[in-house]
Chain A
Amino acid sequence: MSEVILQATHIKKYFHDPVTVPVLNDLSLSVNKGEFVSVVGKSGCGKSTLLYVLSTMDTDYEGELWIEQERVTGQKEKQLARIRNEKIGFVFQFHYLLNEFSVLKNVMLPGLKLNKYSAEEIEHRAMERLKMLYIDDLALKGANQLSGGQKQRVAIARALINDPAIIMGDEPTGNLDKKNGQIVFDIFKELATHYHQTLLIVTHDPEFAENTNRIIEMEDGRVIRH
């Protein structure tokens, strides 16, 4: 069995507003290195909530979370920020690029924050990733000058800048048309097969899920198939 990247055990989470409702119900799962996993389920089954817990942004849960054998549960805000910076790449449904910056700078920002390489090197690495996604010609454009599909590809490049242990996506194709959705899926697929990148993608597109290595299906805060 290959290396476990992400392990969650007995995760429970409640929403307290307006009344206390369980969202995640004693949920356990693990993701191995190089896996391309999709999480599917009906609206409101808790799959996005699960993703925010796994991404360390949401700390209000019971249970334990480990990323690359590092216990994440109970860490301080600053530590969590560092873990997100270093080990997790994000792709959201809405592209969430910073409009104040150019495409290149958007991709570079998490790398500059990590401060592991010099600025020149980070720029070089950012260009490499843009080339890999065939959008290097957009590097100097403003983030708000791009189309939806282009923005999503920039977001993927940004997610890749620090060579994360895992890329998480919250319906990354949900806001795209068929063609762009396919392009984004192909990129993920290529990342998984050629670069052995671990991916955990929440989606409600059955076609997208069918083509991943493994499907985790959720219902009412539980995993019913994986």
Chain B
Amino acid sequence: MNYRLIVNIAISLLKARWRQTLVAAIGVTFSITMFIALLSFMTGLNGLLDSLILNRTSHVRIYNDIKPAKHQPVTLVPGNKAAHNFIHSVKSASGRLEIYNSAAILDLLHHDGRVLGVAPKIIAPVFFNAGTIDITGVVNGIDVQAESSLFHFNDYIVAGNALDLKNVPNSIILGKGVAEKLLAELGDVVQVTTSQGEMMPLKVVGYFQSGLQDFDKVQCYTSINTAQKLLGKPNNYLTDIQIKLHDLNGAPAVAREYGGLFQADTEDIQTANSQFETGSFIRTLISYSVGITLLIVAGFGIYNILNMMIYEKMDAIAIMKATGFSGTDVNRIFIVIALSIGLAGGSVGLILGYILSVVINHIPFKTAALPTISTFPVNYNPVFYVIATVFSLVTTYLAGFFPARKASRVDPVVIIRGK
């Protein structure tokens, strides 16, 4: 088989119809460009929305919930096993919210190979006293460094410095919404009252803005020590341990294991945020279907142009067959034509798609909800480029397949006789 000759003939046929070829190639270029730009942009946005949640959510969270004892005394009595229990007034005991033996747990977690990092936390509901009114809020006692490295705490500080929580004693970072309600400036002192009635003045060292309004209206941050002081608890008091794992997908199994091991409640990210995974899946699906539709439309463009070319080139096909080219040769010539349109249009499309992505990435995008974002997010995943290349070749091959088969079946006698 003489491939050089076939490619040579294909190129000559293309050159003779370069305008149509160009239109077909531009169709492919356009669809590949849009495919790449669309997917990069959509998955960039997806990543942004996901990270809104993912960045701030621990993979596994260990805590003690307020709830009635699983095994009530009445059911523990052996004689009551078969009896019907009609006690309706069972209440949750005022059990301790703290995690038992937290120091030992932290030590064990630090040595677990699956664990990327651990951030202890104290969550305490409080009142902020401003003049005559009390505003409810939640104080999170955090380890600033662990919180910053694992949950990008730094990114959400819009004024002040996160590290001041650690360096300035009795300091607090207010949620933006809380700060607005309290009219608290940096350096002001706010009065905080715990649910037990303890009162404490705290100095404002920063504002926190997550982008979720409801969140910012209640959440405030102090160091763990300050929270322990505020609540009047000893320095091993922790209510939450947040864990980030190396492998996100292992979270449910790890959560179950720790729940049994530490005799505490555990929650994994998949259970806590099942809705967001569905959301990002649907968005990705939509972008892929739009992108692939574009490619298929371009494929039909190539199909049309090849079909037209074959009708125009009937004589040429007949004469090639009469002078000794077989149906297979003719078929290959047209497949080569289709693939070279796909290849040329596709590779220009890849470049333009990249350029368009860069342009999108530089469009200013400022919103109060996303303080860390200044331009539209774009995901430069090479996988999209691979998919686009493969798909452009596959669609152009299919678009060329049927016209090429038709060309290979042209009967030279019919053409020559019909003249």
Contacts and interface: CB of A to CB of B under 8 A. Distances in A.
Q: Do A and B come from one complex?
A: yes
A82 B321 CA distance: 10
A24 to B, nearest CB: 14
A123 interface: no
A56 to B, nearest CB: 10
A28 interface: no
A81 B413 contact: no
Interface string B389-419: 0000000000000000000000111001101
A100 B316 contact: yes
Given A100-B12, A100-B316, A78 B416 contact: no
B290 interface: no
B2 interface: yes
A77 B316 CA distance: 18
A127 to B, nearest CB: 19
Given A81-B324, A90-B323, A48 B417 contact: yes
Nearest to A92: B416
Interface residues of A, number: 32
B324 A96 contact: no
Interface stretch (B102-110, B124-132, B161-169, B326-334): B326-334
A223 B376 CA distance: 84
Interface in A63-108: 77-78, 81-82, 84-86, 90, 92-94, 96-101, 105
B2 A96 contact: no
A98 B319 contact: yes
B5 A52 contact: no
A90 B329 CA distance: 19
A100 B333 CA distance: 14
B16 A100 contact: yes
A96 B315 contact: yes
Interface stretch (A111-119, A192-200, A213-221): A111-119
B249 to A, nearest CB: 55
A169 interface: no
Contacts of A162: 324
Interface in B310-354: 315-316, 318-329
Contacts of B366: none
Given A94-B419, A100-B316, 11 more contacts: A52-B417, A82-B324, A84-B323, A98-B316, A99-B316, A109-B323, A110-B323, A110-B324, A113-B329, A115-B2, A158-B323
